[in-house]
A and B are shown apart, each in its own frame.
Chain A
């Protein structure tokens, strides 16, 4: 499926505590986080491969499945509102 392996690239977070006239609106560039994480992931790959061989797990299929789960978070929206605050998180 198109774009299936791409994780959420940005997130929108709104936080508005009660009594505040304006809340905090954040646009988070998650792609920067993924870029930072990439070298660590590459370093971890050989260890993951060894673990996969030991436990009899299909390595590349696992990697693809893990990426698919990460990618599936695109479109997630969580909104919580009570008397004290309002929080809104949207993953794009």
Chain B
């Protein structure tokens, strides 16, 4: 057992972190040890698509099913587009976001950050389920 892993387990034993946090930290350590961090991922490891599945049961219209597959490459290309926005326009965007109460700096959107975000999305699944509608959003 290496020092980092022991440290995480000790933190868990001492109640400083939760089991979920420990699991995440150990997974991150394993990724680093294997050299499979976000930058070292192979093409096949990358998240390729965002899937949105909607299943509704309208009493009048009847059931409707929607299945959309959006390539993640679209998100990556969109981020590249932010790189060509003039500095003055970026500042305006930031100001507009601030006005809406969103503390977000568009200058921080870089391809590296995006890859990390997409990597986190891999484990994200959004399920909305009510009487007449089921929505599922996930990455694959």
Contacts and interface: CB of A to CB of B under 8 A. Distances in A.
Interface of A: 55-58, 61-62, 64-66, 68-69, 71-83
B47 to A, nearest CB: 13
B24 interface: no
B63 A76 contact: no
27 contacts: A56-B86, A57-B84, A58-B84, A61-B83, A61-B84, A62-B81, A65-B83, A68-B77, A68-B80, A69-B81, A71-B77, A72-B71, A72-B74, A72-B76, A73-B71, A73-B74, A75-B49, A75-B69, A76-B69, A78-B66, A78-B68, A79-B65, A79-B67, A82-B61, A82-B62, A82-B65, A83-B62
Interface of B: 48-49, 61-71, 73-74, 76-78, 80-81, 83-86, 88
A23 to B, nearest CB: 16
Nearest to A60: B84
Contacts of A71: 73, 77
Contact of B67 (A65, A68, A77): A77
A64 B84 CA distance: 10
Contacts of B48: 75
A56 B88 CA distance: 9
B76 to A, nearest CB: 7
Contacts of B74: 69, 72-73, 76
Nearest to A79: B67
A72 B73 contact: yes
Contact of A55 (B71, B73, B78, B86): B86
B64, B83, B84 pick with most chain A CB within 10 angstroms: B84
A56 B66 CA distance: 41
A77 B69 contact: yes
Contacts of A58: 84
Contact of A83 (B61, B68, B86): B61
